[in-house]
Each structure stands twice: as C-alpha cells, then as structure tokens.
Amino acid sequence: MLFGAIEAGGTKFVCGIGNENGEILERVSFPTTTPEETMGQVINFFKDKQMDAMGVGTFGPVDPNESSPTYGYITSTPKIKWRNFDIIGELKKHFNIPFGFDTDVNAAALGETEWGAAKGLDSCVYMTVGTGIGGGAVIRGEMVHGMLHPEMGHILVKRHPEDDFAGNCPYHQDCLEGMAAGPAIEKRWGKKGIELQEVDKVWEIEAYYLAQAAVNLIYTLSPKKIVLGGGVMHQKQLFPIIRENVKELLNGYVQTNEILSDIDQYIVPPGLGDNAGLCGAVALAKKACGI
C-alpha cells in the first residue's frame, strides 16, 4: 500500500509518499506561505500520485475531534493567514481517499512508536524544539487527546537563576516555548543557536528548561520513552546536560532503571531523524485505513 503524507510546519511543508513499513519513497518540501499558495503546491505534488490514504500532521492548534464541526481545521494559530483554515476539507476537494489528521507532534510520536526510537513500546512522548515547542503523546498505543490536544510547549517552568530574559511567547511570555524555543535563544543571546555552539552557558540554560519539561512529563504521563527532536536538538551536547538535570530534579523520587541506570536510552533523539514527522503522517494514513 502507498500513503500520502504531509508534515505541515510553521516554516515549511514536507510532502511525501510512504509505504506500510514507514519507508519514505518520495519527498519534497517548500516554504509555508499563504494557504492558497502552499496548498496549491501540495495538491500539485499529489495530484498524479497513487495513494490508498493520506495522513496530515500539522502545526496547531488544531481540532482533531472527528465529531466536531471544525474537525480538520487549523484553529487559533499565531499564523494569522492560517487561522481557522480547513486543511482536511481543502484536501478532500481533490482526493477521494481516507484521511488521518492530528498535530505534527502527535503524528511524530506515533511514527516513533511504529518505526523509531520507541518501536515495540506502547507509550512515548515526542517533543520538538525548534521555531516553537510542541509535544505529542502515545499512551497504550493511542495518541492522547482530551478537551483539545496536548500543548506541552506552553507549560510553566521555573526560571534559571542566571537568566534574566523576559520570555518570547506572545501568550504567556515566559512559558517553556517562550524561554527555550529557537527564537527565544536568538532573542536572548543576539545570535542564532547554530552560531553559539561553543558557548556553554547557552546550552546550560537551555537544558535547564527542557529538563523541567521532561520531569513534568515523567510525573504526569510516565512515558516509556521521551524523544526530543527539532532543529534546536541538533545541538547534540544538550542531551547529556538534560539527562543530568532530569536526575537532579527528580532527586531520587523515581526509582526505575530507565532513570537510574539507562537514562541515555530513555531521553533520546528521534530514531527516524528528520523524517519523524513525515513518517508519523504515514502512520496516521495507515491508521485511517484500519491497519
């Protein structure tokens, strides 16, 4: 079987064709501009492709409730032109196939449990740290939804004692995203993260916030794996600092091998690499077909 896959990001859209084994056979990407221009490119890419279903993992917030009149919409996004955009409705005008739909991070979490770092486990959390911060969760094999969907990027965090940065979130100022997303790093230090690789203090502060997020996830969802992806996590020096901070913050309260002796295998980068979101969209398409 062949599946269409869309990873709709705030910066770029990645489209591809994958199979039931999670192999990406073809992919293309282009910048996220207006809905009219971007969706025109999406439809043009897929129009001659053979597909049994399509999966869409998108930036949010979104409405993933199939019984809701706004199911398939991108809702109250800060990207004004995309606010209340019916992305699934637009695709259904052109393709008469089943659709799977969720946030990009829920899709990535599903992909990681199917084929990636959490393969063989029935739970994991995937958090992306890039232009924004978002998180998705799979628990007992199902993506987590509730009143809406998880908004892990906006949890509240304690301020690093040496950090006087006010925060960068337009809604909450100094939430996790406001303190630790890529734009927060750039605004705090006056340079992009990639230009600050050798400045230890940058990553000490960054890891402090991301470790708090991991600890909150351990306490609330108890996932069997925490996967950290996104552009900021390309700074591989972050992982050991985050793990050490997590152990310090837990302070012996969680007595499991995953924390005490195997934390290097518990808080990890995506097994699917930069294809985590696209493979996740393939997994959504598979799920839409009931397989």
Tell me, what's the pLDDT at 146?
85
Tell me, what's the pLDDT at 78?
80
Tell me, what's the pLDDT at 147?
84
For residue 217, give the nearest of 110, 114, 124 by alpha carbon: 124
Tell me, what's the pLDDT at 60?
86
Taking 50 as the pLDDT cut, the residues of the chain under it are none
Tell me, what's the pLDDT at 72?
97
Tell me, what's the pLDDT at 79?
87
Q: pLDDT tens for residues 3-43? A: 999 999 988 999 999 999 999 999 999 999 999 999 999 99
Regarding beta strands 124-129 and 99-103, do their DSSP bridges make them parallel or antiparallel, or are they unpaired? Answer: unpaired
Domains of the chain with CATH codes: 2-107 (3.30.420.40), 117-269 (3.30.420.40)
pTM over 0.75: yes
Tell me, what's the pLDDT at 77?
87
The structure tokens 């002796």 sit at: 261
